[in-house]
């Protein structure tokens, strides 16, 4: 059947108009870009970072569809990068921050707050990637902008944040002389600023860590006493739990200073605030109540302890009966950590595992599986290993193949292989773990542990030169560790002393045992292993015909043994 020309034309026209209408309907309007960024702000402020990521990605699509300016593109790119950074997706965020920064440096004036924000985001991302040395110049450039920016665009919260970020880099590398003025200035910026954001808490805690590392507890106390009234004034009405958290840290400081009465008074002031904060502060409340028990013991007020312990027990039961599976998981994990009975611990862990599995692949599931593996280790190693393999699979999915969480699991897997005399498997696991740690350079304890375990493996395989190199490297790692890691140093020192003694290199062995003794002498309480190490040192010296020196260490050993014996009898 033939169709007339007029009818055919009408059909073509209708088809064309329909296509145009459909194209118009699918094409976004410019206001949608603004709307998506407002939605991004709302999701970001509520810590819904995955949702914020979605809004940023859609806004970036609209930039391309509408051909918006490079400045607007930079806004979408930076928003996406920030959402990814807040989800710890640092590798994805880094190139995006660099892209946004390049555009802003090209298109915006030299002193512009958006450029400072891109510098801050990139610096914080590099810190997240364990590359603080690369982050430092970006923090410095951001600080320079905030120092010179006009009043209308100035933001004291971001200014304080970049100062704090730089201070944390110096604190982590134990450059205390650099860290203190930067962190002090960050605190000053917050005090003088119009915006009183909660970032101040991070600054205060970083300064407290600095003073603790330097042994300046009096300065730490003075800082808390000065800042707490300001926190109450500025944040107390809206965020009283923030004030309570800082009061709790001051209470811990009082306990360290042997001021239990001051700690107890402060704890009784802050616990009602934590109680009223609800489920989000239950862990903090339990910690405060446990500290209260310690203070009561110090004050010999044992009669008051059962009532406080009753509050702790009640909180744990409430958590276990919560409607929130994450809260229930936390309660069962806490019970598992605090029970000494293995059967009971495994029962609690199984209940925690049930809750974690409902939450899906995540930190809760991997932590539970790792803890179950630890509970079975020594008794049922094959079962422990199977749980650890499951935990590693979760961590690979959640954190990535190159994460410290996976390195930790590889290190533990190596130990199981070592116990089963599967040395080749153990070496493979340790090589993978070490490759991860060499790249990310953190955390110190895990890095040290992997290298030390590799040395033990080489020693067992009679690869003595490789073992020596590993043990020396493990010592260098802990010697270069951030403040607060000094307790790790005696371990590799003792291992080197034992290694050289086993190889007959007595002069080197003596060198490390002398250093070990000096390290343990500096500890506030006598070390129960020190007499044995003094005896080993004496025996080594006698083999070297240095009997006079050996006698000095023998006398020291006898004195310490008497001191330990006297302490034990008093305790009984």
Question: Is residue 17 over pLDDT 80?
Answer: no
Q: Give the model's pLDDT for residue 84.
A: 94
**Confidence band for 313, pLDDT divided at 50, 70 and 90:** confident
How far is Cα 132 from Cα 120, in angstroms, rounded to an integer? Answer: 13
Structure tokens at 345: 């611990």
**pLDDT averaged over the chain?**
85
Q: Give the model's pLDDT for residue 320.
A: 65
Who has greater pLDDT, 352 or 321?
Answer: 352
176-192 helix and 217-235 helix, angle to the nearest 10 degrees: 20
Fold: same for 23-108 and 489-572: yes
Over the stretch 208-264, which tens digit does the pLDDT of each residue have? 888 887 888 889 999 998 888 888 887 777 788 888 999 999 999 999 889 999 999
Greatest mean pLDDT among 133-147, 239-253, 341-355, 435-449 lies in 133-147
Q: Give the model's pLDDT for residue 512.
A: 93
Q: Of 26-40, 206-220, 353-367, where does mean pLDDT reach its minimum?
A: 26-40
How far is Cα 32 from Cα 36, in angstroms, rounded to an integer? Answer: 6
Q: Give the model's pLDDT for residue 278.
A: 74
Q: Do the beta carbons of residue 493 and residue 475 sit within 8 Å? A: yes
Question: Is residue 411 over pLDDT 80?
Answer: yes
**Confidence band for 306, pLDDT divided at 50, 70 and 90:** confident
Structure tokens at 500: 């050289």
Question: Is residue 8 over pLDDT 70?
Answer: no
Q: Give the model's pLDDT for residue 482.
A: 67
How far is Cα 155 from Cα 403, in angstroms, rounded to an integer? Answer: 34
Residues 6+ apart with CB under 8 A from 9: none
**Confidence band for 508, pLDDT divided at 50, 70 and 90:** very high
Q: Of 77-81, 188-192, 485-489, where does mean pLDDT reach its minimum?
A: 485-489
The residue assigned the tokens 């020196």 is 549
Q: Give the model's pLDDT for residue 2.
A: 44
Q: Give the model's pLDDT for residue 79.
A: 95
Q: Identify the sign of the CA torsion 94, 100, 106, 108.
A: negative
Question: Is residue 569 over pLDDT 80?
Answer: no
Q: Do the beta carbons of residue 101 and residue 62 sit within 8 Å? A: no
Q: Do the beta carbons of residue 452 and residue 491 sit within 8 Å? A: yes
Greatest mean pLDDT among 211-220, 371-380, 535-544 lies in 535-544
Structure tokens at 331: 């309660």
Determine the average pLDDT of the residues in 118-123. Answer: 96
Over the stretch 261-276, which tens digit does the pLDDT of each residue have? 999 999 999 998 888 8
How far is Cα 157 from Cα 441, in angstroms, rounded to an integer? Answer: 30
Q: Do the beta carbons of residue 218 and residue 247 sit within 8 Å? A: no
Q: Give the model's pLDDT for residue 443.
A: 64
Q: What is the DSSP letter of 129?
A: T
**Would you list the DSSP string of 460-521?**
HTT-HHHHHHHHHHHHHHHHTSPTT-GGGTHHHHHHHHHHHHHTT-HHHHHHHHHHHHHHHH
Q: Give the model's pLDDT for residue 524.
A: 58
Q: Do the beta carbons of residue 199 and residue 190 sit within 8 Å? A: yes
Residue 279: left (phi > 0), alpha (psi -120 to 50), or beta?
alpha
Question: Is residue 518 over pLDDT 60?
Answer: yes
Q: Where are the domains of the chain?
A: 23-108, 489-572
Who has greater pLDDT, 504 or 327?
Answer: 504
Q: Give the model's pLDDT for residue 481.
A: 73
Q: Give the model's pLDDT for residue 319.
A: 63
Question: Is residue 527 over pLDDT 90?
Answer: no
Question: Is residue 109 over pLDDT 90?
Answer: yes
Q: Identify the sign of the CA torsion 522, 526, 527, 529.
A: positive
Cα radius of gyration (the chain): 30
Determine the average pLDDT of the residues in 524-539. Answer: 81
Over the stretch 132-183, which tens digit does the pLDDT of each residue have? 889 999 999 999 999 999 988 999 889 999 999 999 999 888 888 899 999 9
Who has greater pLDDT, 45 or 442?
Answer: 45
How far is Cα 535 from Cα 286, in angstroms, rounded to an integer? Answer: 44
Determine the average pLDDT of the residues in 297-310. Answer: 89
The closest alpha carbon to 136, from 146, 126, 149, 148, belongs to: 126
Cis peptide before 443 (omega within 30 of 0): yes
Q: Of 12-21, 100-109, 297-306, 499-508, where does mean pLDDT reach its minimum?
A: 12-21
Q: Where are the alpha helices (DSSP H) in 257-341?
A: 260-276, 282-298, 305-320, 325-338
Over the stretch 469-480, which tens digit does the pLDDT of each residue have? 999 999 988 887
How far is Cα 509 from Cα 490, in angstroms, rounded to an integer? Answer: 14
**Confidence band for 295, pLDDT divided at 50, 70 and 90:** very high
The dihedrals phi and psi of 88, each to the nearest 5 degrees, come to: 65, 25
Give the predicted TM-score (pTM) of the model. Answer: 0.57
Question: Is residue 334 over pLDDT 50?
Answer: yes
Q: What CATH number does the domain located at 489-572 have?
A: 1.25.40.10
Structure tokens at 79: 């928003």
CATH pick for 23-108 out of 1.10.600.10, 1.25.40.10, 1.20.1250.20, 3.40.630.40: 1.25.40.10
Percentage with pLDDT > 90 across the chain: 43
């Amino acid at each position: 059947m033939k169709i007339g020309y007029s009818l055919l034309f009408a059909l073509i026209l209708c088809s064309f108009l329909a296509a145009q209408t459909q194209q118009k309907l699918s094409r976004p309007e410019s206001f949608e870009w603004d709307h998506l960024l407002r939605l991004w702000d709302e999701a970001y402020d509520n810590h819904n970072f995955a949702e914020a990521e979605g809004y940023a990605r859609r806004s970036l699509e609209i930039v391309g569809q509408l051909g918006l300016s490079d400045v607007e593109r930079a806004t979408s790119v930076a928003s996406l990068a920030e959402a990814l950074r807040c989800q710890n997706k640092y590798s994805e965020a880094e190139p995006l921050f660099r892209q946004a920064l390049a555009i802003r440096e090209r298109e915006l004036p030299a002193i512009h707050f958006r450029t400072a924000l891109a510098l801050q985001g990139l610096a914080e991302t590099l810190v997240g990637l364990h590359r603080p040395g690369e982050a430092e110049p970006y923090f410095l450039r951001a600080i320079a902008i905030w120092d010179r920016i006009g009043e209308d665009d100035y933001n004291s919260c971001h200014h304080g944040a970049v100062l704090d970020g730089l201070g944390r880099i110096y604190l982590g590398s134990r450059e205390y002389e650099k860290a203190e003025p930067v962190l002090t200035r960050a605190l000053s910026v917050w005090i003088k600023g119009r915006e009183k954001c909660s970032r101040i808490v991070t600054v205060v805690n970083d300064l407290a860590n600095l003073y603790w590392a330097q042994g300046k507890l009096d300065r730490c106390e003075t800082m808390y006493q000065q800042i707490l009234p300001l926190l109450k004034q500025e944040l107390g009405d809206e965020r009283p739990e923030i004030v309570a958290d800082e009061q709790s840290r001051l209470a811990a400081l009082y306990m360290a200073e042997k001021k239990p009465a001051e700690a107890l008074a402060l704890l009784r002031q802050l616990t009602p605030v934590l109680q009223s904060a609800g489920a989000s502060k239950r862990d903090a409340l339990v910690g405060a109540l446990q500290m209260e028990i310690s203070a009561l013991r110090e004050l010999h007020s044992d009669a008051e302890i059962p009532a406080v312990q009753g509050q702790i027990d009640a909180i744990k039961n409430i958590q276990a009966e919560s409607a929130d599976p994450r809260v229930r998981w936390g309660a069962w994990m806490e019970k598992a950590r605090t029970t000494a009975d293995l059967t009971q611990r495994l029962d609690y862990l199984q209940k925690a595992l049930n809750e974690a599995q409902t939450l899906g692949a995540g930190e809760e599931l991997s932590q539970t599986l790792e803890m179950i593996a630890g509970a079975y280790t020594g008794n049922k190693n094959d079962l422990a290993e199977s749980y650890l393999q499951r935990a590693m699979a979760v961590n690979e999915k959640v954190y990535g193949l190159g994460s410290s969480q996976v390195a930790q699991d590889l290190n533990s897997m190596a130990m199981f292989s070592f116990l089963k005399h599967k040395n080749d498997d153990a070496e493979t696991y340790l090589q993978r773990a070490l490759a991860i740690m060499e790249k990310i350079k953190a955390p110190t304890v895990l890095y040290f542990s992997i290298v030390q375990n590799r040395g033990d493996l080489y020693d067992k395989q009679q690869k003595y030169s490789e073992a020596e190199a590993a043990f020396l490297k493990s010592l260098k790692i802990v010697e270069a560790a951030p403040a607060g890691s000094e307790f790790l140093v005696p371990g590799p020192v003792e291992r080197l002393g034992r290694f050289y003694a086993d190889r007959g290199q007595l002069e080197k062995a003596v060198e490390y045992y002398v250093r070990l003794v000096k390290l343990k002498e500096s500890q506030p309480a006598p070390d129960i292993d020190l007499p044995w190490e003094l005896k080993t040192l004496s025996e080594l010296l006698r083999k070297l015909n240095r009997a006079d020196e050996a006698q000095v260490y023998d006398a020291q050993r006898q004195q310490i043994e008497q001191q330990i014996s006297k302490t034990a009898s008093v305790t009984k």
